[in-house]
Chains A and B, each alone.
Chain A
Amino acid sequence: MNWFVNIFVAPFTEFSFMRHALGAILSLALGCGPVGTFLVLRRMSLSGDALSHAVLPGAAVGFLMYGLSLTAMSLGGFLAGLGVVVLAGVVSRLTPIKEEASLAALYIISLALGVLLVSIKGTSVDLMHVLFGTILAVDDPAILLVAGVATVTLITLAVLYRPLVTECFDPGFLRAVSKSGSVVHLMFMALVALNLVGGFQALGTLMSVGLLILPAVAARFWAVQVWSLSLAATLIALASGYFGLLMSYHWELPSGPAIVLTAGVFYLSSLCLGPHQGFLSRLVPKKHLKN
């Protein structure tokens, strides 16, 4: 029993920085599960990825003005993400250019701008912090921020649930019965930006999208309804956070990639073992029914 405690519990009882990190990553997972599920259902996985890059210049401006301050960088990142989302939405509504094309165009501008801004003042160590995160330095305000993000996310999703589901699968119908389509879409994209910013210190801007997308894609092999998909994605995200941190601690790996790679392992094993059209279920075909 001792070895079990040593591996799975002791790191968190012994070190407060590990407890902080665990609190932050578990809160993050709560919001990322359902938001990622909707992102995947809307076929916007890559747009979410693009958005994560767009967050960088905002964070960089915060960094330039206030140094490594989480509040300034998070607020800057959120505003930059929101700006790109709104701009892409406006461009796609007023011109024939599709939304994902606008997002792709804007995020790469945004990323270049961000790297430029960080390189003007910061050292390359700072740049590494911004890009890849430093979860092992999570302090109380950071935990409050992530917990706040998760709370806002879950409450907003509960309120928006019906229009959001409708907007996902039948936008034409929503347009016919209500004018809320664009608002719902924008609010959802704002939630994505919020969760990316929440994942920012833990995983870094480049990898914060990992906890959104990987658990949600993996969940599709385990569940077939929106609520069960969200639940499965959340559980996988929670497990990825916990095991990722343990890996990072025991083998002295950077926490961001460790957590995302753990989520990746969940994804790959779901791909093979998942009961809903995973590889293994294809190898063992079931007999057809009578009717």
Chain B
Amino acid sequence: MSEPQKSGSGRRDFLGATAAATAAGLGFTVLAPGMQLIKFAEANTNTVNTASAATTHTASAKVRWGMLIDTTRCATGCTDCVTACATENAIQPGSGRPGQSSQWIRKIELKEQATGREISLPMMCQHCADAPCVDVCPTGASFKRADGIVLVDRHSCIGCRYCMMACPYKARSFVHEELTQQNPEVPRGKGCVESCTLCVHRVDKGQEPACVEACSKGDHTAMLFGDLNDPASEIAKRIATTATSQVRADLRLDPGVRFQGI
């Protein structure tokens, strides 16, 4: 009879010691971040309110912002759009490996295997109507505005990178390190995923995305921005009268970016 009691007493001692050690450990690991969690929860609530307010006042489902890229006008080696994007959104090369730096827009050089025909084009977030990144995002941080612009809510992105796995265009980047010298209008942050915002901060002020503006200034006019839903807009007219294509049209994601010449 006494042996089980001993065993039970030893077990209680062990349990007590384990509980004390666990409590001490948890004190360090849980309490301090707990304060942070409350802050983030509050920040997130504010963000949601701000976002819904912005949606109410600036983004309308009547509009579908989009872009038409004429690859026949896009010059090989020209990176005006990439430079303008980097300047506008304060994107600098990171201090790590090149593969860890963010690229919201990049130039892709294509060579047709059968004919050798060469094409140069800019590639960025295609702002899909049925965006896979929005579908897979566990917290809803990847979202589509009423006007079709696909964005990442920096306050609710947990940095799981599932959207990067799902994007067919390799359009998203993960911020691998602390950032400095940011544009206040374009918040970015370590540990979050980001991609082309279609310069939403400019569009909401009635301006064009920086890449489109730079392409026009460089006299290439390979990029055309506008409202796909407005039949009177130049982009809608061009799409209605010219053969255009979507990248990975087979996936039927209805991207907002169209291409000419591929």
A and B co-occur in one complex: no
Chain B residues close to A by CB (< 8 Å): none
A interface list, Cβ under 8 A from B: none
